[in-house]
Structure 1
Amino acid sequence: MLRSIRDKTVKTVGTGILVVAGVEFTTKLPSEGQSSSLYHNVSDKVVTPLVRKILDPEDAHNTAIKFVKEGFAPKFRPNGLEASNSVSLKCVGPKGIVFPSCIGLAAGFDKDGLAIQGLMDLGFGFVEIGSVTPKPQPGNPKPRMFRLIEDVGVINRFGFNSVGVDAVEQNVRKFREKQSGRQIIKKDYDENDALQKAMHVTFDLIKKLWILVFPPISNSEKSLLGINLGKNKISTHETEDYEIGIEKLGKYADYLVINISSPNTPGLRDLQKSEPIRRLLKAAIAKRDQLETQPPLFVKIAPDMSLDQMKDIASAVRECNVDGILVTNTSNQRPDTLISSNSKETGGLSGLPIRDMSTECIRKMYELTDGNVFIVGIGGVGSGHDAYEKLKAGASVVQIYSRMVYEGPGVVSRIRKELCELMAQNGQKSIEDVVGIDHEEIYWTKRLSRLDTARKNEQQIVEM
């Protein structure tokens, strides 16, 4: 009976895959594996809206994680400008780390590090997991995630739900081992359970059929892994939770983030105040410096701050030699333009409604740091133009998340293509040509400094 169920399932799914493949070939669309236009259209225009209609937001989120983890989501669809090296989205960050693309995934999507490689394959230049807390905690009661469909936004009050640092460490270690080719694959089912074994074998066959029809496209770019650290809800320690995260996970991270700006953990934003933030950042830097390799350490701030508060944070970041700032987290504010019935829910607002607010925060923080601190721009990025505006305001790289809720995983490829086209139209070939261009004096000072450095390096080479 189990064999019959398995055979019928494989036959049905296999037939469906062959039909889809037949449509692609008969319409003269050459197969581009999991980056094909057909694959993207089905995923973004059929599957994503369908899932949004039949599942509540958190269930849809968890389903998306599973699909990406198993390799069913579309892969990055290259664009001609990047492929021909006419435009480069690469960015060199603090301590020389190289972001292969300035478009990354914000923390919150893959909190536990379950689907890191799958997310990188979507076309993200960097993937940030977390927030990770030292001890496991369930977060706030459900429902805790709400779509603002009419406003293209999201409100969440997850409250740092996390499996804890030990479980996340296992996940990221497996990812790094697989990256290096050292992972030993272990069976994740009970071989003595006939049903479990039959389901596993069936699913494995489906995956093989899927990959046969839509093979993954190899990507030579190595995306970066960021790990976002939080504190437990009941913790009374000011710095210890973050120090535990740094000690446990720092060796796996390309960069670390100290999250002190979630609106859903009571008292967390108090750490943004003058003295607490200095104590925390100094302790975090000291713990990071004890690691064998020292990844850049960033701090993530809220958008709901006065100018004086932003000045103090900018001063603290420079005083403590923090490597960068993530601007911004979700907002407690509710703009008058919101029309969705869910806009009254408590929690952090993200997506299109905070796009301009976050861009202004980036602009102010860039000015307050004289353009000398690396900025990751977050909030409402849903197009190449949105990313371009944040880069001009002073961000060196940007992150997205909420827009995938509405447009699916293919939005990453689209944003990269649109950004490249905008840069080409404006005669800009690299990210350095765009970052901070809204700040004319700072922009040209930095540009002339880079030119002067390049000339000196050329002269040294000639003299050698």
Structure 2
Amino acid sequence: MRFYHPLLFALDAERAHRLTIRMLAAWGAAGTPFADGPDDRHAVTVAGVRFPNPVGLAAGVDKDAEAVTGFFALGFGSVEVGTLTPRPQPGNPQPRLFRLVEDRAVINRMGFNNGGLDAALDRIAKLPKRRGVLGINVGANKDSVAGDSAIADYVAGVAKAAPLADYLTINISSPNTPGLRNLQAQPALGELIAACDAARHTGGKRVPLFLKVAPDLDRAGLEVAARAAIDGGIDALVVSNTTISRPAGLRSGNAGETGGLSGAPLADLARAKLAEARAITGGALPLVSVGGIGSPDEAQRRLDAGASLVQLYSALVYEGPRLARRIVKGLHRNPSSSS
């Protein structure tokens, strides 16, 4: 464990997360210098957007866009904020975030807790010049999903966020909002993509639109999602979110908690889904690999397997704030660009 773990691990997981966000927000607001100057060795272009490096911060870490500058200062080439919903919502009851220390994993059932799209966009509009790519991840309010008006929420999110985003992600893959994953199937998925495609144009600009799917889709389900994405003009597929499955061999006492599992035990499934997505799309759609990435070797493995970008989340809990920079420095091959 690193030097900061005794303090943070003395707190429950959600309080530790909030403290980390506050510290990074203050660090960024203080004008923290970037540790390294510009480095183009690992730059990659995806969906027409130039990423300084292929290592990104996954959605779910900085839900409300409070510490964007701080995360860029840690070396991330991209930061994806959210998931943001049109209206603020508290999420699921606490406790809802659990460390599985023995497994280097996390289980969460947060439920799209966030302060609402408008508050986050106001923060983003006030950010200083960004040193990386900003993605905005949008979702639907829980009561909208229950009331069959989820697509309207996504359209509202895309339309409002488009002027401030370098790319947008439609998140239909969280296991913690009942009914949300039903949007991964047809005909709802096609309707959703078409509606969001119409909403993403702003000031004559067509903002890239990514689709985030669950690792629990079987191959047939992934084929449906990938085909809908290609046919609907989606610019990249994010593979994938947390899993409701539980791999054999988990040792932590928290392994039985309800929610999505992330971290090291997700790596095998994430690799398998990346391989499936690559085979299904045949390179027709850029892929973003997420899940169980905690080292330069693992990140390189995903890039070699066909990912254009990778994203981190749970590994930061165990590897610490230097992880993104360490991974970027450890990459030995520049990923291929995808327009």
Query: What TM-score, normalized by structure 1, do the two folds share?
Result: 0.69
CA distance in 1, matches of 2:35, 2:264: 24
Give 1:65's match in structure 2, choosing from 21, 40, 48: 21
Deviation (angstroms), 1:46: 1.4
Match of 1:46 in 2: 3
Deviation (angstroms), 1:391: 0.9
Q: What amino acid is aligned across from residue 6 of structure 2 in structure 1?
A: L
Match of 1:36 in 2: none
Question: For 2:325, what is the secondary structure of its paired residue?
Answer: helix
Does the aligned pair in 2 maintain the 1:272–1:313 contact within 8 Å?
yes
Question: For 2:143, what is the secondary structure of its paired residue?
Answer: coil
Question: For 1:162, what is the secondary structure of its paired residue?
Answer: coil
Matched, 1:232 2:141: yes
Does the aligned pair in 1 maintain the 2:163–2:202 contact within 8 Å?
no
Match of 1:250 in 2: 162
Structure 1 residues 416-462: Cα deviation after superposition (integer angstroms, max 9, x where no partner): 1222xxx2xxxx4x212xx8xxxxxxxxxx9xxx9xxxxxxxxxxxx
Match of 2:262 in 1: 350
Matched, 1:376 2:333: no
Q: CA RMSD in A?
A: 2.0
User: Equivalent residues in 2 for 1:87-236 (5 A)?
Assistant: 88-94=41-47, 96-175=48-127, 178-179=128-129, 222-235=131-144, 236=147
CA distance in 1, matches of 2:126, 2:105: 34
CA distance in 1, matches of 2:151, 2:287: 23
**Range moving further from structure 2, 159-168 or 256-265:** 159-168
CA distance in 2, matches of 1:75, 1:90: 21
Where structure 2 has 5 or more consecutive residues not aligned to the other structure, the ranges are none
Matched, 1:410 2:314: no
Q: What amino acid is aligned across from residue 318 of structure 2 in structure 1?
A: Y
CA distance in 2, matches of 1:298, 1:341: 36
Question: For 1:344, what is the secondary structure of its paired residue?
Answer: coil
Does the aligned pair in 2 maintain the 1:75–1:122 contact within 8 Å?
no
Structure 1 residues 292-341: Cα deviation after superposition (integer angstroms, max 9, x where no partner): 42210000000001111111111111111111110000000000121110
- Point out 4+ residue stretches in structure 1 off by more than 3 angstroms: 72-79
Where structure 1 has 5 or more consecutive residues not aligned to the other structure, the ranges are 1-43, 180-220, 436-445, 451-464
Does the aligned pair in 2 maintain the 1:93–1:99 contact within 8 Å?
yes
CA distance in 2, matches of 1:409, 1:304: 29
C-alpha spacing 1:290/1:251, structure 2 compared with 1 (3 Å): closer
Structure 1 residues 331-368: Cα deviation after superposition (integer angstroms, max 9, x where no partner): 00000121110000000000100011111111111111
Match of 1:192 in 2: none
Matched, 1:266 2:170: no
Give 2:302's match in structure 1, choosing from 390, 405, 408: 390
CA distance in 1, matches of 2:34, 2:306: 26
CA distance in 1, matches of 2:2, 2:311: 22
Q: What amino acid is aligned across from residue 66 of structure 2 in structure 1?
A: L
C-alpha spacing 1:314/1:396, structure 2 compared with 1 (3 Å): same
Does the aligned pair in 1 maintain the 2:35–2:73 contact within 8 Å?
no
Deviation (angstroms), 1:162: 1.1
C-alpha spacing 1:414/1:279, structure 2 compared with 1 (3 Å): same
Give 2:11's match in structure 1, choosing from 55, 60, 65: 55
Does the aligned pair in 2 maintain the 1:250–1:291 contact within 8 Å?
no
Does the aligned pair in 1 maintain the 2:162–2:201 contact within 8 Å?
no
Structure with the higher fraction of residues in helix conformation: 1
Question: For 2:98, what is the secondary structure of its paired residue?
Answer: strand
CA distance in 1, matches of 2:125, 2:325: 28
The structure that has the greater radius of gyration is 1
Match of 1:431 in 2: 335
Query: What TM-score, normalized by structure 2, do the two folds share?
Result: 0.94
Match of 1:366 in 2: 278
User: Equivalent residues in 2 for 1:324-339 (5 A)?
Assistant: 324-339=236-251
Count residues in correspondence: 334
**Range moving further from structure 2, 221-230 or 345-354:** 221-230
Q: What amino acid is aligned across from residue 156 of structure 2 in structure 1?
A: I
Deviation (angstroms), 1:104: 0.5
Structure 1 residues 106-151: Cα deviation after superposition (integer angstroms, max 9, x where no partner): 0001000111111111100000000000011000011100000000
Structure 1 residues 191-211: Cα deviation after superposition (integer angstroms, max 9, x where no partner): xxxxxxxxxxxxxxxxxxxxx
Indicate the percent of aligned positions where both proteins have the same amino acid. Answer: 42
